[in-house]
Amino acid sequence: MPANPQNMESRARLSAADWEQAALDVVAAEGVAALAVESLARVLGVTKGSFYWHFPTRDALLKAAIDRWERRDEDEIISQVEAISDPRLRLRDLFQRVSREVQSHRIYAALLQASDLPLVQPVIERISRRRLSLLTDAYREAGFDARRAAHRARLAYTAYSGFLQLNQRHGMPRMDQDEYQAYVDHVITTLVPD
Amino acid sequence: MPANPQNMESRARLSAADWEQAALDVVAAEGVAALAVESLARVLGVTKGSFYWHFPTRDALLKAAIDRWERRDEDEIISQVEAISDPRLRLRDLFQRVSREVQSHRIYAALLQASDLPLVQPVIERISRRRLSLLTDAYREAGFDARRAAHRARLAYTAYSGFLQLNQRHGMPRMDQDEYQAYVDHVITTLVPD
DNA sequence: TCCATACCATACTTGCGCGTATGGTCGAAT
DNA sequence: ATTCGACCATACGCGCAAGTATGGTATGGA
């Protein structure tokens, strides 16, 4: 038995998971439209012939990659949210945490941009519902009635995705680190009750 | 001299402006990616041969169409804003007005989705800066200091574009008319000082 | 009347990226 | 040692949309 072939660096043989991870990297860096099998094969040091052994089609890869990301993402979010019982503290922590992991939200931003593709549209819808109900629940626990909780959650979530979108490729004036943190604080004091 | 050939309905000969307007319709309805010269020619009842007389390339059409929209849009915004002197009333009116003209923001939403194209990226940046400084000025006039005004403006603007994005193709649970108006009211009371 | 110009049709070429067909290689199990 | 199957290379076909080449038609002015 070979010594842990999964961790051999730059090994010749690839698995489907390798392709999915590489696909996610491309999506995060250049968007969904930039995901092409030949260029991806070049990145991995192989050719198309390899790809079409692992996946029947390009869309199959994209779907598998997104599913992988969605599972990972959901697990992280859930575990983070379970931690804090006080809803107001939970909301503040959520905002702060999200604000620091901009890197990890690049894929979601890319998917948002490609939400007209029939493959990603249901994904966006699922994620939006989940995150929205997450926020809505927190606001309800914080004392908002159902209506206002839903509205405030929607406002917070649209501000989040709008921020992602406009910061994608310098769509907005850039902020330095201090300015950014000050902005996050402003958002929290504006959208989270004391 | 012919009797006003500009207004002859379904006249055979087209002008560049006709192509630009038709292009804007397509972009508003199906997005930037759906803008193709052959399909557009079919819509106008002609063929490619006509198109390449008016424009050297597809991107040239897209750019001309966007420029046309940008000029029109800017004029409307400016004239609307000049009207109301009280900054708080102006902000409320702005939010209400924008909320009612979702139709007219379809093109901006489409451009946001295509903001990775080098042709539209500078447009998004220009528009963002203009609208952001518009909001920032209003908040400053309303008594915010420079820092908080910039932050609140950014929050409002990202909420706006995030809303556009997530409502594009049912990325979010739909609202009926009353619910929508209630949401707008909530946004106003949350983001505009009394 | 006749021509020049503006506008349009038809028939190509071209490039790109997906997918297919087919054969090759390397490791592991018999 | 042979064989089998997982993995990969090479070469090709194909569809789509952009762009080109070239010729045709209509209209206003000389």
Nearest 5°: the CA angle A34, B59, A42 is 20
Measured from the CB, is A122 under 7 Å from any atom of strand D?
Answer: no
Q: Are A153 and A192 in contact (CB under 8 A)?
A: no
| A-chain residue closest to B185, CA distance | A151
Cβ-based neighbour number of residue A69 at 10 Å:
21
CA dist., res. B194 & res. B172, Å (int):
30
Of residues B77 and B183, more confidence is placed in B183
Identify whether the C-beta of residue A134 lies closer than 8 Å to the C-beta of residue A78.
no
Q: Which residue has the tokens 């804090």?
A: A84
pLDDT reading at B3 higher than 70:
no
pLDDT at residue A11, rounded to an integer:
55
Instruction: Identify the pLDDT of residue A108.
Output: 95
Where is average pLDDT lowest: A52-61, B70-79, B141-150? B70-79
Determine whether the distance from the CB of A57 to the nearest atom of strand D is below 7 Å. Answer: no
The tokens of B189 are what?
Answer: 């009371």
Q: What are phi and psi of A47, to 5 degrees?
A: -125, 180
Cβ <8 Å between A163 and B163: no
Set of chain A residues whose Cβ sits within 8 Å of the Cβ of B157: 162, 166
The mean per-residue pLDDT over the stretch B31-35 comes to 96
Which nucleotide is nearest, taking the CA of residue B18 and each C1'?
C7
Three-class secondary structure assignment of chain B: CCCCHHHCCCCCCCCHHHHHHHHHHHHHHHCHHHCCHHHHHHHHCCCHHHHHHHCCCHHHHHHHHHHHHHHHHHHHHHHHHHHCCCHHHHHHHHHHHHHHCHHHHHHHHHHHHCCCCCCCHHHHHHHHHHHHHHHHHHHHHCCCCHHHHHHHHHHHHHHHHHHHHHHCCCCCCCCCHHHHHHHHHHHHHHHCCC
- Kindly tell me if the per-residue pLDDT of A4 is higher than 80: no
A168 lies within 8 A of chain B by CB: yes
pTM of the model: 0.91
Nearest CA-CA partner of A133 in A115, A155, A109, A154: A154
Of residues B172 and B163, more confidence is placed in B163
Nearest-nucleotide field for A19 (CA, C1'): D7
The confidence score (pLDDT) of residue B5 equals 42
Do the chains contact at A190 and B113, CB–CB below 8 Å?
Answer: no
Mean pLDDT of A92-109: 89
Alpha-carbon gap, residue B188 to B194, rounded angstroms: 10
Task: Supply φ then ψ for residue B29, to 5 degrees.
Answer: -85, -35
Interchain proximity B165–A115, CB inside 8 Å: yes
Q: Does A169 touch chain B (CB under 8 A)?
A: yes
pLDDT at A56: 97
Tokens of A46: 């192989």
Residue B170, CB, strand C, below 7 Å: no
Highest mean pLDDT: which range of A102-111, A156-165, A171-180, B99-108: A156-165
Chain B residues in contact with A31 (beta carbon < 8 A): 116
For strand C, which nucleotides have at least one atom less than 7 Å from a protein CB? 6-11, 17-23, 27-28
CB contact under 8 A, B132 and A168: no
Encoded tokens for A96: 């702060």
Distance, angstroms, CA B158 to C1' D22?
Answer: 52
Helices A16-30 + A106-113 axis angle, to 10: 80
What dihedral angle (degrees, nearest 10) is formed by the CA atoms of A99, A128, A59, A11?
Answer: 40
Nearest-angstrom CA–CA distance, B35 and B61: 10
| Cβ-Cβ contacts under 8 Å for B104 (sequence gap 6 or more) | none
Residue of B nearest to A34 (CA): B116
Q: Given CB atoms, is A186 within the 8 Å cutoff of chain B?
A: yes
Nearest nucleotide over every DNA/RNA strand to the A14 CA, judged by C1': D7
- Compute the residue count for chain B: 194
